[in-house]
Amino acid sequence: ISFNFVDSSLSSLKNCQSYINTGMDIATHVALDLVESFNDVEDVNSMENVMLEYAAMDRELNHYMTAIEETVNQIKREKPENIPDLKNLVKEKFTALESKNSDSDLQKNEKYLYFKDQLKEMRKQFRHQSDNDNEDIEQIDEDIAVTQSQMNFICPITQMEMKRPVRNKVCGHTYEEDAILKIIQTRKQQKKKVRCPKIGCSHADVKGSDLLPDEALKRAIDSQNKQ
């Protein structure tokens, strides 16, 4: 049995997924724009709802691709004499996956988690709290208690103000993107692990995959420089 047409369909679905990811990135930037402009919290919350809708589409797409891949693997494994009804097999597997859905799944979406994290950081950087989420407010209050100064904008590697800050999602420390990636590349060639350059941090295995753009911090730096 040839599965070339299936591979073509999967490729199309993955393209759709890339559009969803782009939409989530745009929604995140819009939400940060709203916070920076001190817009009404309802506007920001509407962007969070958009993110959850995108997360639901992403989950559904993932389930459908998984159902297709599992069906193909099953047929390859069992090698039936007659070609089975692929449409029904995929539908059965897809329905089984969808039946396990819960709201908590959406809140574990990687881009949604990044959205929430950056939103919290943005509010912290701009001293703006108007969220009704008590847990977030408590965390923001705790973070604001730490004195904010230009030291937050200095890269622990270059000792210069960051232009493209990235944050380590493991330990939470930020570095200039080019500087940390250069260290990671050098250590990789030496077959050594990279310790977090932040003084006092015990994290001893910094990976490029753990680094995320810190858009909130970049905006705070840019804002101060404009002033």
pTM: 0.75
Burial class of 81 by CB neighbour count within 10 A (0 to 12, 13 to 18, 19+): exposed
Q: Which helix (H) or strand (E) holds 213?
A: strand 211-213
Bridge partners for 174 per DSSP: 167
Q: Which two tokens stand for residue 173?
A: 């420390």
CATH number of the domain located at residue range(s) 165-225 in this protein: 3.30.40.10
Q: Which helix (H) or strand (E) holds 174?
A: strand 174-176
Rounded CA-CA distance 178/176 in Å is 6
pLDDT score recorded for residue 151: 64
84 Cβ partners below 8 Å, 6+ apart? 75
Rounded CA-CA distance 118/213 in Å is 9
pLDDT score recorded for residue 201: 94
- Boundaries of every domain in the chain: 3-128, 165-225
- Walk along the chain (227 residues) and give the pLDDT tens digit of each residue: 567 778 888 888 999 999 999 999 999 999 999 988 877 788 889 999 999 999 999 999 999 999 999 998 888 888 887 778 888 999 999 999 999 999 999 999 999 999 999 998 888 877 644 444 445 555 555 454 444 445 689 999 999 999 999 999 999 999 999 999 999 999 999 999 999 999 999 999 999 999 999 999 999 898 888 86
pLDDT score recorded for residue 84: 81
Handedness of CA 172, 175, 181, 187 (dihedral sign): negative
pLDDT score recorded for residue 176: 97
Closest to 167 in 3D by CA, of 121, 128, 224, 101: 121
Is the Cβ–Cβ distance between 93 and 66 less than 8 Å?
Answer: yes
Q: Which helix (H) or strand (E) holds 168?
A: strand 165-168
Q: Which two tokens stand for residue 49?
A: 């709802």
Closest to 21 in 3D by CA, of 86, 101, 109: 109
